[in-house]
């Protein structure tokens, strides 16, 4: 029970941080409970945002690696954050708050989450990518190798 209380506290802390980035009120987020009674958390992140990086590489990694986390939390990760998109005819142009490199990191994370099983490969890969944001290509290759994923 204490472990669940600690995890719930961590989740609520993340909701406060996430709500800042999403311009949602804290009370709206606190009311989000999935039908199965799990706390529902949606994290809209940016791959080069200093606050997002600190949260993901510390608190979030601790939480998702805690026994029974997935039994009490429905967690969704959206690596899009404060990105903007504009349609130019039949194509789209994307801009990210922290530049082109951030758009690259967001895209790699979104692709992994969409292509692979979310819980066993997609999310772990995305969290691994956040460990080193100096070179997303090199880090992506390391993370792909770590999880046995195709980088091509």
Q: Which of 150, 124, 127, 113 is nearest to 47 (CA)?
A: 127
Q: In angstroms, how far is CA 15 from the centroid of its own chain? A: 13
- How high is the pLDDT of residue 81? 77
Global pTM value: 0.74
From the CB of residue 85, how many other CB atoms can be counted at a distance below 10 Å? Answer: 9
The 3-state DSSP class for residue 18 equals helix
- How high is the pLDDT of residue 122? 93
> Could you report the per-residue pLDDT of 71-121, keeping only the tens digit for each?
999 999 999 878 888 999 999 988 999 999 999 999 999 999 999 999 899
Asked if residue 34 has pLDDT above 80, the reply is no
Which tokens in the block code for residue 13? 């802390």
Mean pLDDT, residues 28-39 taken together: 68
The set of long-range contacts for 110-119, using a CB threshold of 8 Å and a minimum separation of 24, is: 110/78, 110/79, 110/80, 112/149, 113/77, 113/79, 116/149, 119/70
Strand (E) or helix (H) holding 61: helix 61-64
**In whole numbers, what is the pLDDT of the chain averaged over residues?**
82
């Amino acid at each position: 029970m204490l472990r669940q209380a600690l995890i719930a506290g961590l989740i609520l802390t993340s909701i406060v941080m996430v709500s800042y980035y999403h311009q949602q009120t804290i009370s709206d987020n606190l009311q989000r409970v999935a039908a199965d009674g799990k706390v529902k958390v949606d994290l809209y992140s940016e791959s080069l945002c200093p606050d997002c990086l600190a949260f993901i590489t510390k608190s979030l990694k601790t939480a998702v690696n805690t026994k029974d986390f997935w039994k009490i939390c429905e967690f969704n990760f959206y690596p899009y954050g404060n990105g903007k998109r504009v349609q130019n005819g039949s194509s789209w142009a994307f801009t990210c708050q922290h530049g082109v490199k951030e758009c690259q990191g967001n895209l790699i994370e979104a692709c992994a989450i969409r292509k692979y099983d979310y819980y066993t490969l997609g999310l772990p890969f995305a969290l691994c990518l956040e460990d080193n944001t100096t070179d997303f290509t090199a880090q992506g290759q390391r993370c792909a190798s770590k999880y046995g994923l195709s980088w091509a």
